[in-house]
Each structure stands twice: as C-alpha cells, then as structure tokens.
C-alpha cells in the first residue's frame, strides 16, 4: 500500500474516477464541490516529510471547512489562522488553542477581543503582529503573552501581483524597523518568533526569488538574536501546477533551497503551506445547460459561476476542465461561462474539451484552494453543496444552500 509520503506529487484532473464523479453529480446535484480528504492528508504528510526538522502548520485561509481542518489535524498538522473566525473553526474542528498561531493583519477589534480572551485560557496561543498599533491595542486589552513579528522583506513573489504580499506595505513591519520593534516586544510581551510571507503559488522555477525573501528573514533573525527566538516562520506560498503541462513543485529542491536561504538558526524553522495541501484535493462538478454557436466561438453555459469559483475572474487563473460525461468525444475549443450577468463570469476561452452537450457534467479541477472560501451569493444564488470523499465513502460536509438561506439574515 502506498504511504502518504510516497503518494504522487500532483493529482491531475484526468486522475480522478470520472464515473464516480458523474454519479456524485447525479446524486447530489450541481454545482457541487467534491473534496478528497485522503488526498489532503497525503499532501500534508508529503510536504512535512520534506522538512523533517521544521514545524509545518496549515494555513487555514486556503480552505476552512471543518472536514478539511479535521483531516489536517488527523495528519498531525497544526493550524495558522488569519482571522477570529478561523480560530473558532479550528477549535471547533478539534485543535488545541494552545497550538494555534493567529496572524493579525489590520485586525478589527472583535478579532483582537476574541484572540486575547482565548489566550486567557490558552497561553500557548501565538499572536503575530504586523504593526506597532496592534501592540498598543493588545496592551490596552491586558495582553502580555506570546508575540511573533511579521517582517515585510520588501520582496514579493507568486502567481499574481495581488498575492505578492512580501512587497506590499499592508503586510508586516518595515524591514529596518524590526530590531526596534523586537526590543519593545521583549520589554512588554514574550517575543517568540519572526514571520514573513513573500507570496503565493510559487513553483520550482520561482523558488530563487522566493528564497531571496527568506534570506532576509534569516538575516533579521540573527540580527535580533535568533538564539532567543522559539521559531522563524517563512510562511507558505508553495504552489501546485494548474496547467496540465506544468511540473509539480520539486519538494527535495525546495527543502534544500529554503534551508540554505534561511541559513544557520538556533530557532526552529516554521512553514505554513495552504494551497499545496488542498488545491488538487478538490474540484467542482457543473452541468451544461446551454450550447450557443457564436460567430467566433461555441459558448457552453454551465450552472457554476464566478459565485462558485471566482479565481478566474479575480486573478485570470487557469483551471483544468474535463467532460466527465463523454470524454470519448472529439475535443473542440469552446468558451465556458456561467449564469452571472457579467463578462467576467467565464471559466475558459477557446478551451479544447470533449464536445459538450446539454446535461453533460463538466469537472473544473484544482478548486480546493480559495475555491469555496471565496464563494458568494452574488445574483442571490445559493452556495453549492460540498461532498467529502474519505476511505472510499462519500458524505455531505456542507449542505446546498436554499433561497431561504440567502435571505435569512434580512430584517424588515
């Protein structure tokens, strides 16, 4: 039997059992998220095995579904959270609050209230700050516990400018101010670590630039005295191949380059993969409802939309697509779009797919990372159901919303 660590480094859309997918669409209706929890455990274990001396935490913002968080915890992972809701959901999934790390980015009062109240009973909780204002606000709440300082390394990486956080002034303490902030934290709180996150979606060819940011984090750790730190957290950002011909991340090379970049440290190295753990573990099933021959293309209308998966509209992201109902048909280039009234609601232009017909089921791959997390009720569309696969069994882990759910919070 294949161990999690030896599982394939990438799962292509063609690797899924398409007969099973078609039966899931028939049983649970569409649009439908399908998430393979076994794959999540495999991905986490493979990544953590590549960094045997590091502390690997899952970045919850990629997918905060309870079943996903439970799978990460079952695989032995801890969880990094970026908002109070993620803290609560992690605890509801079974995480010990003493193991959580809360990375505060311009945190609203309710977030800090929740985190500091939580720390009263869980002193192991770590709060990562990116502004001295946050220190002032924590101090005003009587908090004097564990603090990590988020560094802005001045270098952003990743698949899109909107995720290149390492060069964005919104994120982290400006690099040259970190020593002074560290001195203050040592006087008023418990300084336990430094943190940085350069960007998201980095594959092997982007590692050198990514590691330039990590070098700066290691240099700063030694500058402020890494022997007194518990950890140096270089964040996540490790990508998966969305296009069929892209190569998967070379984890052996990644581990070597990251270790070399951060340099010699007395502190523990910490990493926070999110996308790598969940992206290829989930897909969307959507039914074709319209075929329209236009002058320049064939338009294929499906029941999923940018409200189901916004990444193509937001980032111009590529997601593989497959006709699971009739893969044997000859492929032809088609434009696939949903029912939302905007030209942004298109999943693919001139994409070769086995010629779709009405009522065919189309699979949209690599939807696990920032897929359901960014789903919305735009156009008053109820959000889709999510089915989890585990040990060969399927179960609903998120029911399909109804129109009553869409309007439930409104008041006269």
DSSP structure string for 328-367: TSPEEEEEEE-SSSSTT-EEEEEEEEE---TT-EEEE-S-
* Cβ-proximal residues to 163 (8 Å cutoff; 6+ apart), any chain: 199, 200, 201, 315
Q: Is the pLDDT of residue 1 over 80?
A: no
Annotated binding site: 237, 272-275, 311, 370
Q: Is the pTM of this model over 0.85?
A: yes
What residues form the annotated binding site for pyridoxal 5'-phosphate?
A: 237, 272-275, 370
Q: Are 100 and 78 in contact (CB under 8 A)?
A: yes
The pLDDT tens digits of the residues spanning 123-151 come to 999 999 999 999 999 999 999 999 999 99
Answer yes or no: is pLDDT of 237 > 90.
no
Question: d(Cα 39, Cα 255) in Å, to the nearest integer?
Answer: 21
Strand partners, 302: 288
Q: Tens digits of per-residue pLDDT, 145-194?
A: 999 999 988 764 444 344 344 455 677 899 999 999 999 999 999 999 99
Q: Give the pLDDT of residue 202.
A: 80
CA dihedral over 190, 47, 314, 366, signed as positive or negative: negative
Query: Which residue segments constitute the domains of the chain, with CATH numbers given?
Result: 96-273 (3.20.20.10), 280-406 (2.40.37.10)
Compute the mean pLDDT over every residue in the chain, rounded to the nearest whole number. Answer: 93
Percent of the chain with pLDDT over 90: 86
Q: Which residues are annotated as a binding site for substrate?
A: 275, 311, 370
Q: How far apart are CA 277 and CA 280, in angstroms?
A: 8
Is 341 noted as a catalytic residue in this protein? yes
Average pLDDT, integer, range 5-33 = 93
Per-range mean pLDDT, top range of 212-221, 245-254, 393-402: 393-402
Catalytic residue from among 341, 359, 391, 393: 341
The residue-averaged pLDDT of 87-108 equals: 96
Report the pLDDT value the prediction gives residue 169, as an integer from 0 to 100: 67
The span from the CA of 298 to the CA of 356, in Å, is 10
């Amino acid at each position: 039997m294949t161990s999690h660590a030896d599982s394939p480094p990438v799962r292509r859309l063609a690797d899924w059992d398409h007969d099973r997918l078609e039966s899931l669409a028939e049983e649970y209706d569409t649009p439908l998220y399908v998430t393979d929890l076994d794959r999540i455990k495999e991905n986490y274990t493979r990544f953590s095995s590549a960094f045997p001396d590091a502390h690997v935490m899952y970045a919850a913002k990629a997918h905060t579904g309870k079943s996903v968080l439970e799978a990460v915890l079952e695989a032995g992972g801890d969880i990094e959270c970026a908002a109070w809701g993620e803290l609560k959901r992690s605890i509801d999934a079974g995480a010990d609050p003493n193991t959580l790390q809360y990375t505060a980015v311009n945190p609203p009062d309710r977030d800090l209230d929740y985190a500091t109240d939580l720390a009263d009973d869980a002193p192991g909780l770590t709060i990562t700050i990116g502004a001295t204002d946050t220190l002032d606000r924590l101090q005003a709440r009587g908090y004097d516990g564990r603090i990590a300082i988020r560094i802005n390394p001045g270098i952003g990486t990743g698949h899109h400018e909107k995720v290149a956080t390492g060069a964005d002034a919104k994120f982290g303490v400006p690099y040259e101010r970190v020593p002074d902030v560290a001195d203050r934290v040592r006087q008023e709180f418990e300084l336990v670590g430094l943190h940085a996150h350069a960007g998201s979606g980095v594959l092997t060819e982007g590692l050198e630039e990514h590691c330039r940011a990590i070098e700066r984090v290691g240099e700063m750790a030694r500058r402020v005295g890494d022997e007194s730190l518990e950890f140096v957290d270089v964040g996540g950002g490790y990508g998966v191949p969305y296009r069929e011909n892209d190569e998967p991340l070379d984890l052996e090379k990644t581990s070597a380059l990251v270790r070399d970049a951060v340099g010699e440290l007395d502190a523990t190295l910490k990493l926070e993969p999110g996308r790598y753990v969940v992206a290829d573990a989930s897909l969307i099933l959507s039914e074709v409802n319209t075929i329209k021959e236009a002058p320049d293309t064939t338009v294929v209308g499906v029941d999923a939309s940018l409200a189901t998966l916004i990444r193509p509209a937001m980032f111009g992201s590529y997601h593989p697509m497959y006709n699971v109902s009739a893969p044997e048909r000859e492929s032809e280039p088609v434009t696939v779009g949903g029912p939302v009234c905007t030209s942004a609601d298109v999943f693919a232009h001139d994409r070769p797919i086995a010629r779709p017909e009405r009522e065919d089921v189309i699979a949209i791959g690599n939807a696990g990372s920032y897929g359901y997390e960014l789903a919305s009720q735009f156009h008053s569309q109820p959000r889709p159901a999510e089915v989890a696969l585990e040990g060969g069994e399927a179960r609903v882990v998120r029911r399909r919303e109804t129109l009553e759910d869409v309007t439930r919070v409104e008041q006269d």
